[in-house]
Structure 1
Amino acid sequence: MGQTIGVKEIEYLAIGAAVLGTGGGGDPYIGKLMAQKAIEECGPVTLLAPDEVPDDALVVPTAMMGAPTVFFEKIPNGDEALHSLRRLEEYLGKKAFAVMPMECGGLNSTIPFVVAARSGLPLVDADGMGRAFPELQMETFNVYGVSGTPMVITDERGNWCLVNTVDNHLLEYIARGITIRMGGVGHIAEYPMTGKEMKETSIHYTTTLAINIGKAIVHARERLENPLEGMGKALAESNYGEPLVLFEGKIIDVDRRTVEGFTRGTVTLEGLGTDAGSHFKVEFQNENLIAYRNDEVVATVPDLITFLDLETYKPITTEGLRYGYRTICIGIPTPPIMRTTEALEIWGPKYFGYDLPFIPVEELAKNVKRGRS
């Protein structure tokens, strides 16, 4: 039943999840170390396929919420999310059958492994975003009718809060305020649901996909091959589309700030190689949201916009973007469940304040003429 995830798989997961995380989800390096330490101390984690979970079982997603930039200065103890899970179980009067990721991105793909290893629970191979998003209601669970509360949020000093709200938008508003007062970062257990609800509302097999993407990048580097080919093969076996090169260039400016519990900003690049003479800009709120090439939109949320180091193809998070970095920016089409009318109301460009329609990145990419402008 299930597959066994050990230290090596976490190494791949941290890379692949950062690719799918579109720059967000928290620093994958710290999350990787936390998960590997937990597995070394407590043993490997069992990863369950969604259909291996009984319909009446309790499944609880766990995660970190807050501004990723703050996380660099507030390294967690490692047991905060586990405490949130235990307090939620006490409130519900029921033990969790399994935990799962809230999103597929960076730190928040590895935190649930910390909880799973230290609790002895299995982890479900699915999540509620298929990427990373900055707000708690931006989950397929919410889109398709699951309540995010009751939710528990815990900080590194032991402070914790139980949150119950009338809807998931208010959950985000209240929990964000609590997180800000906890210093910008909190650790949560939320969206408690049945196995049946999980199967119907989650994006399946994203943990396996992240591991396969990470493995493809590592093996391609070892063999001096093009990592995009391996990534393409991994994505071809999923509900995602093939990776599309949007731009190759050098970062010439990063405007980044922490505002209201989010890391917001813009990164600007000048072209290299076949993109010499062109410019590129990406706006982000924890995650990359909109990409412009020569002031024309070439990708929008919810499709994935991810920066990779031009030499190593290691993914770069929004808090890791630096002046002078040479990068390649790729777009990845998201699964159909994330492109429905209901889903786009929750996380389409208009929700983030952009007066733009959602146009699939594979359609926008057809208009990208890579070369000197």
Structure 2
Amino acid sequence: MSWQLTEEHLEDLARGAALLGTGGGGDPYVGRLLVQQAIRESGPITVLDPSEVDDDALVIPTAQMGAPTVVHEKIPSGAEPVSALRALESYLGAEASATMPIECGGINSMIPLVVAARTGLPVVDADGMGRAFPELQMETFGVYGVPGSPMAVAGERGETAVIDAGDDNERMEWLARGITIRLGGVAHIAEYSMSGADVKRTAIPRTLTLAHTVGKAIREAREGNGDPIAHLGEVLADTLYGNLRVLFRGKVSDVERRTEAGFARGRAAATSFDGEHKLELEFQNENLVALVDGEVRCVVPDLVCVLESEQAEPITTETLRYGQRVAVIGISTPDLMRTPEALAVFGPAAFGLPYDFRPVEDLVDP
């Protein structure tokens, strides 16, 4: 069922998006401010349930791409993703019926809302990652047969480019990444244009609603002096993300982070509060794997999320700092993201990790 998204939803939505972004996806606080401004100028946003989208509707997802670290210095105006959408519409010779996130994490849960508010389009309550991933080919859309091309890229100075790599989504990513680097490390895109029927077949459903529900659960537990992580686990149990496991609690002891080739890459380490155990994280925009005492406890595509230990506020990879007291949790992904076809595109081997995928619920006891 469709619903109206207003300013009142944004704080919880941004918090939930930060968690589902597994440390990446861009700064949700910046995204929240952009949506807030757009709603104040243009009014509430219609969020469509995937079941309500006509099969022959043209849905064009919109997003930001680049290194999350750059967004702190190059805050977008909000016009860039609209420019990308219009450039792709012009290339296709057709107008979009709706927009949609490509991922439900971080700022990229917010960019389509900015587009929707500024254009009057509805936004579909679904996405193509069920979390955040660093590369454009890492989409359930592509896994199940929807090509990313043609795609449009827009910069902060009004530049636009259209890339058509046919059905080669990895080459599309490579070309778009090069353009993004030359635009200063961040750009806005429109890609994976598809029919409403393809949305229903290939997208992870109702993830905007999920992000809002997750953010609200954390806030309500804090306000009631409860355990936010325990409450979050109870809420997720009734969703496609049915398993939450606490992987580690401790203090960040080291962070190595660098911006290269359009990504924020690095590692982080933490020591348990009793000093007996060690955590290692590896990230490429998003957290990819969590090892405790050298053993894998959660690995992509399952979600590795770093939270502030007491309030359970999500911590992104670009804001991870020495001395932070953290709780690290793992969350299971929907079955659509665990098939052999999906793991070939965004499983551990796709990131060069020397681990086989095993579900977090099998690696860690409840």
- TM-score grouping bracket, smaller chain normalisation: over 0.9
Counterpart in 1 of 2:345?
346
Mapped contact 2:87–2:160 kept (Cα < 8 A): no
Matched, 1:278 2:311: no
Counterpart in 2 of 1:222?
223
Inter-partner Cα distance in structure 1 for 2:297 and 2:234: 23
Counterpart in 1 of 2:334?
335
Counterpart in 2 of 1:170?
171
Counterpart in 2 of 1:18?
18
Task: Give percent identity, aligned residues only.
Answer: 56
Counterpart in 1 of 2:251?
250
Q: Secondary structure at the match of 1:46?
A: strand
Inter-partner Cα distance in structure 2 for 1:59 and 1:194: 6
Gaps of 5+ in 1: 369-373
Counterpart in 2 of 1:45?
45
Name the aligned partner's letter for residue 20 of structure 2: L
Q: How does 1:151-162 map to 2 (within 5 A)?
A: 151-162=151-162
Counterpart in 1 of 2:320?
321
Counterpart in 2 of 1:302?
301
Inter-partner Cα distance in structure 1 for 2:64 and 2:361: 31
- How big is each residue's C-alpha offset from its partner over 1:150-189, in whole Å with a ceiling of 9 and x where there is no partner? 1111111111111100311110010000001111000001
Name the aligned partner's letter for residue 177 of structure 2: R
Counterpart in 2 of 1:371?
none
- How big is each residue's C-alpha offset from its partner over 1:111-131, in whole Å with a ceiling of 9 and x where there is no partner? 110000111011101000000
Q: Secondary structure at the match of 1:81?
A: helix
Q: How does 1:106-117 map to 2 (within 5 A)?
A: 106-117=106-117
With structure 1 as the length reference, what TM-score do the two structures score?
0.96
Name the aligned partner's letter for residue 7 of structure 1: E
Name the aligned partner's letter for residue 60 of structure 2: V
Matched, 1:238 2:239: yes
Counterpart in 2 of 1:197?
198
Question: How many residues are paired up?
Answer: 365
Inter-partner Cα distance in structure 2 for 1:79 and 1:234: 36
Counterpart in 1 of 2:54?
54
Matched, 1:140 2:140: yes
Structure 1 residue 147, shift from structure 2 partner: 0.9
Structure 1 runs, 4 residues or longer, greater than 4 Å off: none
Mapped contact 2:228–2:311 kept (Cα < 8 A): no
Gaps of 5+ in 2: none
Name the aligned partner's letter for residue 295 of structure 2: E
Name the aligned partner's letter for residue 82 of structure 2: L
Inter-partner Cα distance in structure 2 for 1:291 and 1:338: 19
Structure 1 residue 242, shift from structure 2 partner: 2.5
Name the aligned partner's letter for residue 133 of structure 1: F
Q: Secondary structure at the match of 2:364?
A: helix
With structure 2 as the length reference, what TM-score do the two structures score?
0.98
Structure 1 residue 88, shift from structure 2 partner: 1.0
Counterpart in 2 of 1:179?
180
